[in-house]
Structure 1
Amino acid sequence: MFTTLNDKLNAVFSKLKKQVRIDDENINEALKQVRMALLEADVNFKVVKTFINNVREKALGEEVRKSLTPDQVFIKIVNDELVDILGGKDYKEAKIKLNSNPPTVIMMAGLQGSGKTTSAGKLANFFMKQSKSVLLVAGDIYRPAAIDQLETLGRQLGCDVYSDRESKDAVKIAKDALAHAKKTAKDILIIDTAGRLHIDENLMNEIVRTKEAVNPDEVLFVADAMTGQDAVNVAKSFNDMLDATGIILTKMDGDARGGAALSIKEVTGKPLKFIGTGEKLTEFEQFYPDRMASRILGMGDIVTLVERAQESIEEGDAEEMAAKMAKHGLDFEDMLKQFRMIKKMGSLDSIMRLIPGLGNMNMGEIDDRQFKKTEAIIFSMTLKERRNGKLLNANRKKRIARGSGTNVADVNRLVNQLNQMNKMMKQMKKKLGGSNKLNPAMMRDFLKMK
């Protein structure tokens, strides 16, 4: 998502780089291109109008006119305005407000197929990571297998699920679940309601009555980012009925143009609180406007990348790997462990887009299939070969290639990669005075010496 918008905006910025100073003519031409890029990204036209007017006013100010780097100042202005329409820098309202008298009740709402049930599971996982006890409620009594789906998610998470297969009263199920949550001292109660159209009067009345019955602390509208402006319009209709407290935008890893994400806060007046970035239960992030603006402009999101690493990689494993790298170098077993650590953080494409400077790269040559090919080659080695690459003569390489469905050139490429990694580690160790213990400060020193 945002790839096309990112490309178009960067084309505008590149043209401005050639200008010595910014003036009415070149800024108006730049804004014309920005306007077209936003409209093509399916951003609400009223939001686009406000955005362009704000950027124009700031870009034609005296401070920008006097700037020796107009393109950089223009990028900063665009970035600041993106942050504003996404929610602003001070985004305290986007955090879930926990009730001082548990449980905190969260009710999910939205269209069928928007990803409510999966988002309920992801939200439960989000709180369980914070050591909160969670009860999921199967409140969808209409969709076939909805209860089964939620119970399956509960088993995967090790999370309790409240359901009543005999009842056809969604309001009663929610009330009974709340009583059960209080009885069992749960911290969080997440109610998965049935998907419904905003024009379905009976079902809308049902969800309103459910809200009145349990008095939720949060009403989260779940919208599918792939539906573009439709998601924004439906969110507004639901909000008019329910007075939602926030929005979850799903399928942000898709190839939609991104207009919903850029419009939904401005149109509904409700904050984006979470985004779904993939199908896995772990692919779910708290929303931060400044981080999203940075991604849209291709500047990466290093804070989110660090947070993913902290969640996915055990500190002890990382320290053990670093110590071995410094002392003996890596072998193919270690390389396999590294790949598994990285895969826990998400798809390679999603990781690359969080790294500043790599967001605009063509990912065609760098995808998760490369991981699979590498794993196949390593799995085709014997344990001795994995631990001692010097054993890999021509005959062994041919056997490994046959066993992994690759060719000898692929095996040689992997061997060269490992050798290069170990060569770099030796250089680093030498520049750090032969130390076997690497830490972040030493890594920074090494990079400065390069």
Structure 2
Amino acid sequence: MLDHCSIVHKGGIVLWSRSFTPEASQLTSSSSSPVNSLIRDALIEGRVAEEKYEKGGYAVKWTFVNDLELIFVVAYQRILQLTYVDDLLGALKIVFVELFQPFLAAFVASLHAISSSAVVLSMTEATRWNFENALEGWDIAFDKLLKGLENKAAEDRKLRLRPAARPPPTPSPGSSDVDLLPTESQPGTVDEQQIARNVEALKNRLRGRGGTRAPGRGRTRKDPRNGRDSHPNSDSDVAIKHKQKGKVLRRWGDELPSESEMASLDFSYEKLSDQDHHPASNDLEALVDEASRGIRNKDGLYEVRDWEFTNDKAADDVIARALSGSYKESKPAQGSLGTLGSLFARFTGSKVLSEDDLKPVLEGMKQHLMKKNVAKDIAEKVCEGVGESLVGRKVGGFQTTYATVRLALSNSITHILTPKTSTDLLFSIRAKLMSPLTSAQQRMPYSITFVGVNGVGKSTNLSKVCFWLIQNGFRVLIAACDTFRSGAVEQLRVHVRNLSMLSVGGAGDSEGRVELYERGYGKDAAGIAKEAIAYGRDNGFDVVLIDTAGRMQDNEPLMRALAKLVSVNNPDKILFVGEALVGNEAVDQLTKFDRALRDFSGAGTAVAKGRGIDGMLVTKWDTVDDKVGAALSMTYVTGQPIVFVGTGQTYTDLRQLRVANVVEAILSD
């Protein structure tokens, strides 16, 4: 068992460390720790050729990554014979550098740019660089790597201790008849039909050798098919009997089942329990992912979980290659510092950046953004802004130029994605519900309209938002204003039934907190929405969620009908629902929806003049991995924030975006 493992920069900064025992944790914090002794006695004195260092009952091994100035250290009790330590050090170096090389390159470049002493450098950089966030996910990758090597070492020990297996006995030439019968020593299973054929074949052989026949056996009969003699128990008869048997009705008893017995065997989704009129618990479990439920904050409100970018697939692939030994260690090339790394190879000395210097860099940056699903026009504008901020800046060498350009791109993306308006939907709802009223006024519910093209998941994600609102104690009315698509009203009816039966926050079911307002098909959607808001006002509902029919952004009559719904009802929030998969098409959809609403909603009325999209809900976010450029494109076009993203098929698969997570995904290689 290991006692300690750490990754340290040669300047003295500890990037990551872990102690596996309390004793090792105390030792690493003292001046007599084996790691500190290693640095003092071996590394500083230049004794780097040694393979192992021993101190106070501990054995310490290490390895270097010279290009990044990193030291990987492992300490364990020297009495133990840990055969996998060398493999662990090699695999650690490979996996860590592969996963975090862009960050490490920028970190080392910043250290070279500082000309202060080593002591001041360590204190300054340790506080400025947030290693915990930058190396997020490394603990999980390390655990997988360590567990894989430990299991591999355990298997090797078992193989060494296992006695040599004796070869199976060779059957004698006369044992062929006996081999026809299955025995317990033979591997595998034999079905009944095969056993019957073997038995019949064995009997026929015994008859041919003059074996003893039972009385009345051995007579022949004419085969009705061809008139030839055949044995009554031949293989053909067995096959005929098996073929003629056919499918037989299974009877479980002498009497037919009663109605109560049939009801107990009815497991259909519509079946309700006789006791509580709720569906089976298995059905409810399929609707909610407990691990994805909202987090209750200090104010007692449920918050939607953050979407976190994790490159688990890439990490697992690197770990698998490191464990299998198929990953060969090689010197990191300049291009491996990132997608743009190879473009900085010619920056060898200190110089002032010009437009000609940045032209190939910005082109490579644009290609990288487009691979991340950023629209081409927007990628060009982002790169132009980055170029303007870099022209005339003085940089020194490959590493600092790479770090400077990467930081400029990160700042540009962060500026675009930072919301210009509040994304706190709960605050907006509570502010309206708690606003003072005059004696002649009635409390109006907070209304949210969901718009978008066909098939993007408006109704499904509306239901996710509804569940989140129910979690926070609001009474929600869903208005079925999609009066065109067949099954739209029935779909919402199923969602409302499901939501009314779910347990919310341990407070029992949510029956009475959600209701559907529908008037069938072929009606005016604007009128139904107006009636639903009035119904919600009169019956004490807090929020009205308005579902609209999907429509293409170029269909002017349908866009005018949608603008009419907006102008007549003036909803508090208009959310555009778009897909994360469509890339540039999402920009076209969003632009034309926003323009149509602004152009048509103010026609002939001043109530909702100039209303446009207030925010976005991006669906199927879990299908794009790190290609999250649609978020950048959609936010750039409208200047409005992405309020939620949909990440799955249950009511809890709703997430909110943090700018830092999106930037990390876009800049990842």
Q: TM-score, length-normalised on structure 1?
A: 0.58
State how far apart, in whole Å, the 2-side matches of 1:176 and 1:244 are.
23
Contact 2:628/2:662, CA 8 A, preserved across alignment: no
**Alignment pair present for 1:32 and 2:32:** no
**Alignment pair present for 1:227 and 2:582:** yes
Residue equivalent to 2:533: 178
| CA displacement at 1:118 relative to structure 2 | 1.0
**Alignment pair present for 1:294 and 2:664:** yes
State how far apart, in whole Å, the 1-side matches of 2:591 and 2:389 are.
30
Residue equivalent to 2:432: 100
Corresponding letter in the other structure for 2:486: P
State how far apart, in whole Å, the 2-side matches of 1:62 and 1:127 are.
50
User: Of residues 613, 628, 641 in structure 2, which corresponds to 1:244?
Assistant: 613
Residue equivalent to 1:193: 548
State how far apart, in whole Å, the 2-side matches of 1:114 and 1:231 are.
11
Corresponding letter in the other structure for 1:57: E
Structure 1, residues 216-235: CA drift from partner, whole Å, max 9, x if none? 01111111121211111111
Contact 1:135/1:162, CA 8 A, preserved across alignment: yes
1:41-440 equivalent positions in 2, closer than 5 A: 41-60=372-391, 62=393, 64-65=395-396, 69-86=400-417, 88=418, 91-96=420-425, 97-98=428-429, 100-101=432-433, 102-158=444-500, 159-165=514-520, 168-242=523-597, 243-255=612-624, 257-298=627-668
Call closer, same or farther: CA 1:189–1:56 in 2, change over 3 Å. Answer: same
State how far apart, in whole Å, the 2-side matches of 1:9 and 1:238 are.
41
| CA displacement at 1:61 relative to structure 2 | 5.1
Call closer, same or farther: CA 1:59–1:183 in 2, change over 3 Å. Answer: same
Cα root mean square deviation, aligned: 3.2
| CA displacement at 1:286 relative to structure 2 | 2.3
Q: Share of identical aligned residues, percent?
A: 28
State how far apart, in whole Å, the 1-side matches of 2:395 and 2:642 are.
31
State how far apart, in whole Å, the 2-side matches of 1:288 and 1:241 are.
29
Contact 1:232/1:268, CA 8 A, preserved across alignment: no
Structure 1, residues 282-317: CA drift from partner, whole Å, max 9, x if none? 12122333331123234xxxxxxxxxxxxxxxxxxx
Contact 2:573/2:614, CA 8 A, preserved across alignment: yes
| CA displacement at 1:68 relative to structure 2 | 6.8
| CA displacement at 1:271 relative to structure 2 | 2.6
Contact 2:484/2:521, CA 8 A, preserved across alignment: no
Call closer, same or farther: CA 1:217–1:116 in 2, change over 3 Å. Answer: same
Contact 1:21/1:69, CA 8 A, preserved across alignment: no
Structure 2 counterpart SS, 1:94: coil
State how far apart, in whole Å, the 2-side matches of 1:21 and 1:253 are.
43
Structure 2 counterpart SS, 1:253: helix
Structure 1, residues 76-100: CA drift from partner, whole Å, max 9, x if none? 22211111222x2x55433333351
Call closer, same or farther: CA 1:166–1:197 in 2, change over 3 Å. Answer: closer
Contact 2:347/2:398, CA 8 A, preserved across alignment: no
State how far apart, in whole Å, the 1-side matches of 2:379 and 2:486 are.
41
| CA displacement at 1:153 relative to structure 2 | 1.8
Structure with a larger share of its residues in helix: 1
Call closer, same or farther: CA 1:8–1:167 in 2, change over 3 Å. Answer: farther
Contact 1:43/1:262, CA 8 A, preserved across alignment: yes
User: Of residues 336, 340, 356 in structure 2, which corresponds to 1:12?
Assistant: 340
State how far apart, in whole Å, the 2-side matches of 1:171 and 1:8 are.
56
Call closer, same or farther: CA 1:18–1:152 in 2, change over 3 Å. Answer: farther
| CA displacement at 1:204 relative to structure 2 | 1.8
| Aligned residues between the structures | 295
Corresponding letter in the other structure for 2:650: K
State how far apart, in whole Å, the 2-side matches of 1:235 and 1:2 are.
28
Contact 1:13/1:75, CA 8 A, preserved across alignment: no
